[in-house]
Amino acid sequence: MSAAAVPRSPLLDAIQEVLISEDGVADRVRELGERITLDYQGRDLLVVGVLRGVALFMGDLIRQIHLPLEIDYMAISSYGSATKSSGVVRILKDLDETITGRNVLIVEDIIDTGLTLSYLTRALEERKPASLAICTLLDKPSRRVAHVDVQYTGFTVEDRFVVGYGLDHAQRFRNLPFIGVLKPEVYTR
């Protein structure tokens, strides 16, 4: 993937490189939506977003799924402001909906070690959904510690800490419309 030039602004000044452009994200999200639309024809669908990083992806993805569907959210403990996984996963906000007998599609921003989603899928399987699938915008397979079955992947990325399009560093940069990498000095601030 080629790096694009970034114009100057206080927010953009922190960016070292654009990994996936706004258009690149939009094109891929449309493709994912088309595949999901085909795969879930005639089936009841509950799309579950994992907060907070998924907010932008979820909003765009569901608009590309041309089926009747419902949405719900879960919040789980994440990295905080550090860039390494603690391996500790906790449900901070559970689903409002009952998923027993339903087709559940979990939507995540990025799979890194896989610890979060392997925990989450085990917890949700216990509730006996009719099916459980995973859609992630980004995947970093080189970092995997726990196995996760992923049905829909937007982009596979190398082992770099990325921000933008919902993904944060210390709760910032979520509002960037593209996915990029910060200048090294920003991570150490």
Site residues, ligand 5GP (CB under 6 A): 53, 78-79, 85, 108-116, 161-163, 167-169
Burial class, 8, CB count within 10 angstroms (exposed 0-12 / middle 13-18 / buried 19+): exposed
**Active site residues per annotation:** 112
State which residue, 40 or 119, has the beta carbon closest to ligand 5GP. 119
Q: Is 59 helix (H, G, I), strand (E, B) or coil?
A: helix
Of 77, 16, 34, 25, which Cα lies nearest the Cα of 52? Answer: 77
Q: How far is the CB of 184 from ligand 5GP (least distance, A)?
A: 14
State which residue, 83 or 98, has the beta carbon closest to ligand 5GP. 83
Structure tokens at 127: 């509730």
170 Cβ contact partners less than 8 Å away, ≥ 6 residues apart? 81
Q: How far is the CB of 66 from ligand 5GP (least distance, A)?
A: 27
Q: How far is the CB of 14 from ligand 5GP (least distance, A)?
A: 13
Task: Establish whether the linkage from the previous residue to 52 is cis, with ω within 30° of 0.
Answer: yes
DSSP 28: H
State which residue, 45 or 111, has the beta carbon closest to ligand 5GP. 111
> Is the CB of residue 109 less than 8 Å from the CB of residue 78?
no
Of 123, 127, 153, which Cα lies nearest the Cα of 141? Answer: 153
State which residue, 49 or 129, has the beta carbon closest to ligand 5GP. 49
